[in-house]
Amino acid sequence: MKKFTSAALLCAAAIPGIAQANECGEVSITEMNWASNTVVTNVAKFIMEQGYGCDVTIVPSDTVPAVTSVAENGEPDIVTELWLNSAGEAYLRLEEQGKIERLAKVLEPGGVEGWWIPTYLAEKHPELTTIEGVMENPELVGGRFNNCPDGWGCRVVSDNLIRALDLEESGIEVFNHGSGETLASSMASAVQNEEPWFGYYWGPTVPLGKYDMTRVELGEYKPEVHKRNQTADAENPGVSEFPAATILTSVTTDFKEREPEVAEMLSKLTFQTSTMSSILAWMDANNASGEEAAVYYLSNNSDEWSTWLNDSARKNLAAILDN
């Protein structure tokens, strides 16, 4: 596949007039304060500017401030990577009031959580791909479960799962990490040395993009059980798989009416969660910015993003990418 340097493509993108035949006017879009959203925002910005001729302004934000701003000011036009489980009732009220509309799940299947083992371990011992197999063979996973740090939501759920499964009685020590950094480094150290590792992680993240991990099946997802497990020291914890978190691209209804072709593109702009983890791993390895990561993605995944665009926008971007 043809590859481009970030500098060359960014320079080409700065050429004025390349997309003027299809100008869409001024557009405001959020950039949340985490890495995957920086990628989403910069990919969308590049496509809107170079494909559709938009004048795009990035608005630094976070989930709650973005929803509040739409409620009070009717802007920004586009809220990227909106985690529905963090947006709360305030967001749902905006939808009911007709002020905002969800266009797409920007990550598919969404935000993933779970208990994992390295894939080399799963291939050597397929029985470890279920929690029953892990508990029957604790020595094969190193006899340890790497748990979330205190204060994290995943710690509450995992603690309840540990009690419901009676995990420690199977011979598995629960190690509660003091920080996200030590949790990630424990995975890195184990994988680099091809040693056993068993623990919680989530994506999209750098470690799940950098290391080949296999999710341990906890069983069926049971909404009521999972909801109960989200309460610390639940009286009746149960066993339920972690659900994928719904992550949206949403726009104001005014914007959708004003720029229907751009809204149509955004309704198709979806990344596989595993792909996003890979991009984050590339960013980490290359100390790259979100803008550079967007260029990297666009340069190497035309078979994906070209399906999001209309013919005119596709032609405009080809004038840059095919040079």
Predicted local distance difference test score (pLDDT) of residue 22: 53
Domains annotated for the chain, with CATH where assigned, are: 26-109+245-301 (3.40.190.10), 112-230 (3.40.190.100)
Between the CA of residue 84 and those of 98, 104, 181, 199, 265, what are the distances in Å?
A: 17, 12, 26, 25, 21
| Coil, strand or helix at 272 | strand
Place of tokens 């094969």: 140
Peptide bond before 138: cis, by omega within 30 degrees of 0?
no
Tell me: pLDDT of 7 over 90: no
**Mean of pLDDT values over 40-46:** 97
d(CA 210, CA 185): 12
**Average pLDDT of the segment spanning 289-310:** 94
Average pLDDT of span 223-243: 95
What is the per-residue pLDDT across 177-229, written as a single tens digit (0 to 9) for each?
A: 999 999 999 999 999 999 999 999 999 999 999 999 999 999 999 999 999 99
Model-level pTM? 0.87
Cβ partners under 8 Å of residue 314, min gap 6 = 51, 306
Torsion angle of the four alpha carbons 292, 296, 297, 300, in this order, in degrees rounded to the nearest 10: 170
CA pair distance 279, 288, nearest whole angstrom: 10
Counting residues of the chain whose pLDDT is more than 90, the rounded percentage is 85
Residue 60 near residue 69, CB atoms below 8 Å:
no
pLDDT, tens digit, for every residue of 89-119? 999 999 999 999 999 999 999 999 999 999 9
